[in-house]
């Protein structure tokens, strides 16, 4: 069987099993116990990555899922993060006008904004100003200035540690994890059952707010349950420092415009957890999204066109036999278009 067919058959089997029994927990336990299927899937992903998705001799390719991440991460921290901080400060000021609990934040934000008036790059941020910004956020925050240590990246569903190909051109400290690793540098971890920050077990190795970046490269569509996909994003938020990045790449549909409404729904669902989408790019073969973790005191934007459903649906979910499902119908919710998507909808913050 061809490698893409192996991958597709596993995805379809998981969706079919979920439609049959209605319990994601039972389906996942069955899948975890099927080592032969997991090994075949892992080998197929590794072969595709090494033979079809490897970038050329010119360095990271923005059309490649990992190449896009490797190119975006340093660009964001070096040039875009300062503007995001300014936006947070302005938002805190605007919220203080309507909510008394933001009055203290307002005075802090105003002073920091004045100090940042002439700051154009991270090199111009003093240590004192950096501490004030960290105090404003009130929790662990990524280093605004260039850190003395590499940015910490958690690559979930890594398979064969593809980020290792870029370490000669980018300064990352990558922790690669996968349910079924395809090489020795990847740690075997079931992210479904991982509890970040727990006092014992695997979760103790993944502390709360300990990463600058979490990546889900072609990962979420592997999960048959829309709600579980969003729960992965919740775990990513727990693992990230404030201003940290959640990077998501997923394959394009057969008709590239076909997933526009779903990607819009993903934006509002993930932002409702405490993120802001800063980039969405539709590449030749992938959707590429970057979300920034923001503190919960910055209220999420409301949409009049979508009700929060606590799930991340994909088109393939429609193939699940709903009549045989025994769980909540919202497990299989597919949003319907409610308005025409305008070009402005595609931008981030």
- pLDDT score recorded for residue 335: 45
What does the alpha-carbon distance between residue 81 and residue 121 come to, in Å, rounded to a whole number?
A: 9
- pLDDT score recorded for residue 103: 59
What does the alpha-carbon distance between residue 335 and residue 314 come to, in Å, rounded to a whole number?
A: 10
- pLDDT score recorded for residue 287: 86
Contact 48, 41 (CB under 8 A): no
What does the alpha-carbon distance between residue 15 and residue 317 come to, in Å, rounded to a whole number?
A: 7
Report the candidate in 88, 44, 131 with the shortest Cα–Cα distance to residue 298: 88
The number of angstroms, rounded, from the C-alpha of 217 to the middle of its chain's C-alpha atoms is 9
Per-residue tokens: 192: 């479904």
- pLDDT score recorded for residue 189: 95
What are the residues whose beta carbons fall under 8 Å from the beta carbon of 73, sequence distance 6 or more?
Answer: 151, 153, 170, 172, 213, 245, 247
Q: Has this prediction a pTM greater than 0.85? A: yes
Give percent helix, percent strand, percent coil of the chain, each to the nearest 5: 50, 15, 35
- pLDDT score recorded for residue 305: 59
What does the alpha-carbon distance between residue 104 and residue 19 come to, in Å, rounded to a whole number?
A: 51
Q: List beta partners, residue 289.
A: 248, 280
Helix extents (H) in the chain:
3-21, 24-33, 35-51, 65-75, 81-96, 103-115, 127-137, 226-239, 260-271
- pLDDT score recorded for residue 296: 81
- pLDDT score recorded for residue 109: 83
Q: What is each CA distance from 251 to 137, 150, 191, 347, in whole angstroms?
A: 35, 29, 21, 19
Sign of CA dihedral 19, 21, 24, 29: negative
Q: What is each CA distance from 252 to 27, 31, 163, 167, 281, in whole angstroms?
A: 26, 25, 22, 27, 11
What does the alpha-carbon distance between residue 52 and residue 251 come to, in Å, rounded to a whole number?
A: 14
- pLDDT tens for the chain, 349 residues: list them: 588 899 999 999 999 999 888 899 999 999 999 999 999 999 999 988 887 655 543 444 555 788 899 999 999 998 899 899 998 888 888 775 555 555 566 777 888 888 888 787 777 788 888 888 888 888 888 887 777 788 999 999 999 999 988 887 788 899 999 999 999 999 999 999 999 988 767 767 899 999 999 999 999 999 999 999 999 999 999 999 999 999 999 887 534 555 677 888 899 999 999 999 999 988 877 889 999 999 887 766 665 556 667 889 888 886 664 544 444 444 544 444 443 433 334 334 5
């Amino acid at each position: 069987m061809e490698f893409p067919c192996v991958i597709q058959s596993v995805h379809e089997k998981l969706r079919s099993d979920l439609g049959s029994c209605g319990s994601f927990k039972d389906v996942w336990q069955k899948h975890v116990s099927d080592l032969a299927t997991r090994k075949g899937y892992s080998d197929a992903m590794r072969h595709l990555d090494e033979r079809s998705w490897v970038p050329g001799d010119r360095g990271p390719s923005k059309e490649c899922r990992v190449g896009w991440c490797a190119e975006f991460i340093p660009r964001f921290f070096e040039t875009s993060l300062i503007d995001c901080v300014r936006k947070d400060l302005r938002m805190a000021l605007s919220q203080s006008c309507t909510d008394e609990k933001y009055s203290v934040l307002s005075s802090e934000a105003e002073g920091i904004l004045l100090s940042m008036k002439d700051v154009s790059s991270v090199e111009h941020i003093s240590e004192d100003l950096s501490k004030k910004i960290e105090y404003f956020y009130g929790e662990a925050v990524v280093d605004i200035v260039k850190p003395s240590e590499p940015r910490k990246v958690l690559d979930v569903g890594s398979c064969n540690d593809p980020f290792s190909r870029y370490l000669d051109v980018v300064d990352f400290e990558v922790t690669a994890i996968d349910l079924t690793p395809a090489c020795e540098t990847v740690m075997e971890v079931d992210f479904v059952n991982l509890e970040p920050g727990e006092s014992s077990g695997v979760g103790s190795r993944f502390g709360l707010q300990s990463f600058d970046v979490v990546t889900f490269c072609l990962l979420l569509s592997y999960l048959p349950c829309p709600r579980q996909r969003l729960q992965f994003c919740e775990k990513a938020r727990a693992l990230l420092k404030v201003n940290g990045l959640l990077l998501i790449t997923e394959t394009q549909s057969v008709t590239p415009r076909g997933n526009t409404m779903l990607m819009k729904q993903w934006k509002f669902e993930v932002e409702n957890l405490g993120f802001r989408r800063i980039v969405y790019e539709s590449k030749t073969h992938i959707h590429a999204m970057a979300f920034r973790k923001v503190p919960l005191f910055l209220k999420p934007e409301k949409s009049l066109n979508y009700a929060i459903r606590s799930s991340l649906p994909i088109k393939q979910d429609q193939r699940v036999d709903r009549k045989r499902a025994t769980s909540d119908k919202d497990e299989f919710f597919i949003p319907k278009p409610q308005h025409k998507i305008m070009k402005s909808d595609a931008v981030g913050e």
